[in-house]
Structure 1
């Protein structure tokens, strides 16, 4: 049924995507988030900005809430030119653009500002370009905050509390290795199936940022949220190279400018959404815990050691760790 639905949606918009009709081009953007999410709101603003910049010649049509499939499926649609743009977690992108897995390493960034300095600088640009040989062009990074563990039956205060716990992770080898290193049992499940999986006890918990925990209503089932903040994993906005190459140089410039403005806007929205999410889940009876992060960071050191002979990833790790604040 899902495949039929996706086919019908794509068929109905086939002649719209990156095609010219009365000098108007429409870019189709599919993603998996709810319309109340800060990323979706930033995309709406991006569409309005793009329409204004182009004098109505470029439009953005957004399909939220997995209408066109999971993040992996949307990336595959980009690769074959059946969809123009998408937003995915870098954790999923690593399966298509291997170097981006560096961003999924636990406790890689000193703080949020350090992550912005890296993502907005030359390292971020390199990683955005990493997918081009796989027909995926990165345009920018949206803030997705820090990911932490939430569970149903017991709080996670130290790594040993994860022993025997089935924890949902993205389809990401880096995320799988992290949960294993911490002593848990990683279980890849798509985001859209997670609520039911928690209800049915397929998994004991998951890990994600506060707005995702709140907007997904997972707090209705999981009453412990342990803010170990193990990863600062951004979302990536991408366009298929098929769609990108059909845009003129001027249209590409308009799109880049609109993306840049939407990234700034989303980061403001994100900070507000993060604070609201923590307030609301706590009001709903969730116990918010702040464990000793060093205990978790020490437990995953072996993951970094495993990359020492990797001539592509290890230099990136060192460059990220050595990145200085932009104001120095």
Structure 2
């Protein structure tokens, strides 16, 4: 072999190695056009929902900072209106980022996260912020990562507003809940709380709740203004009376497929983390603005809103919460949250 032929072969060999290296994204599969596509999803079908604002901000930042090398496809209830469907898709790799409630995570064996679902855990929005944006939030993120064997990476905590009761009657006291069927979780600490008030938890799916309220399948429900007003629940006879119980300053988890995240080069990981941080800001701002906007809309549409003495509700919730944290071995986390009041 002549020196010229040898040199030519080496140039080709080095070029191939360089080409392969340029295509490598640490085992993250690219599309035919060389771009990486991420599927981001939430379970709300309204395009005006705060979740949509958060995921659109995530998409904007990721695509801009990656110079279009990463594309984000946002799904608003189109690949699952139930959170369990979204978590399943995340685990199977059919979704890369999903928004879910803490209570849903108990089905994956991470029981400590359900602490964030507990009624009257937080006394105000500022109290909630101090917890999730501080040491408590960091500890919970580490628990999720460790107990899921890195299947889930928590990217941030979104707000889903302040949850209130709405039903066919206004609540003047806790006693008014006796015998009232209530769409809420039917197991766990949330169910225990409502059962203790005398209500009867019902498991109607979110997508069927409007019809359930309209047709007397269920007497009442509970959620935050941006969510139930966008679904017109307040226009039904069983959703007309809104009592501001403020029983939950709601937390939502933004989860990424942990294995896929770890396979990204550091540059892409930094882009995703930055986009997630900006999505947290955008989603919380949208939720807070809509909390005011949709309360006003509910009133304009004829809903009747009343306040109530929350102390009897808090007195019911506290011993239930104390017992619950012992069961899930989260006493220290609860104390840290209470110390932040």
Displacement after TM superposition at 1:201 (Å): 1.7
2:91 corresponds, among 50, 63, 79, to: 79
Name the counterpart of 1:289. 306
Point out the structure with max Rg over C-alpha: 2
Which stretch has the larger CA shift, 133-142 or 280-289? 133-142
Residues 263-274 of structure 1 mapped to structure 2, 5 A cutoff: 263-274=280-291
Displacement after TM superposition at 1:190 (Å): 2.0
Name the counterpart of 2:254. 237
Question: Separation in 2 of the partners of 1:289 and 1:29?
Answer: 37
Displacement after TM superposition at 1:229 (Å): 0.4
Name the counterpart of 1:168. 183
Distance 1:189 1:245, change over 3 A: farther
Name the counterpart of 1:20. 30
Alignment partner of 1:144 is 2:144: no
Name the counterpart of 2:143. 130
Question: Separation in 1 of the partners of 2:174 and 2:86?
Answer: 34
1:260-317 Cα offsets, whole Å, 9 max, x none, are 0111122222111010110000111111111011121112222033136447222111
Alignment partner of 1:257 is 2:257: no
Name the counterpart of 1:103. 116
Does the aligned pair in 1 maintain the 2:164–2:244 contact within 8 Å?
yes
Does the aligned pair in 2 maintain the 1:92–1:172 contact within 8 Å?
no
**Aligned pairs, number:** 306
Alignment partner of 1:275 is 2:292: yes
Which stretch has the larger CA shift, 51-60 or 170-179? 170-179
Displacement after TM superposition at 1:223 (Å): 0.7
Does the aligned pair in 2 maintain the 1:91–1:171 contact within 8 Å?
no
Question: Separation in 1 of the partners of 2:207 and 2:279?
Answer: 25
Alignment partner of 1:114 is 2:131: no
Query: Structure 2-normalised TM-score?
Result: 0.85
Which stretch has the larger CA shift, 197-206 or 128-137? 128-137
Q: Structure 1 segments of 4 or more deviating over 3 A?
A: 66-69, 307-311
Distance 1:295 1:69, change over 3 A: closer
Which stretch has the larger CA shift, 298-307 or 261-270? 298-307
Displacement after TM superposition at 1:211 (Å): 0.6
Greater helix content: 2
Residues 58-97 of structure 1 mapped to structure 2, 5 A cutoff: 58-96=70-108, 97=110
Question: Separation in 1 of the partners of 2:104 and 2:185?
Answer: 7
Question: Separation in 2 of the partners of 1:250 and 1:69?
Answer: 33
Structure 1 residues without counterparts, runs of 5 or longer:
1-17
Name the counterpart of 1:30. 41
Alignment partner of 1:191 is 2:203: no
Displacement after TM superposition at 1:66 (Å): 4.4
Distance 1:28 1:209, change over 3 A: same
Displacement after TM superposition at 1:320 (Å): 0.7
Name the counterpart of 1:49. 61
What is the DSSP-based 3-state SS (H/G/I as helix, E as strand, rest coil) of the residue aligned with 1:49? helix
Query: Structure 1-normalised TM-score?
Result: 0.88
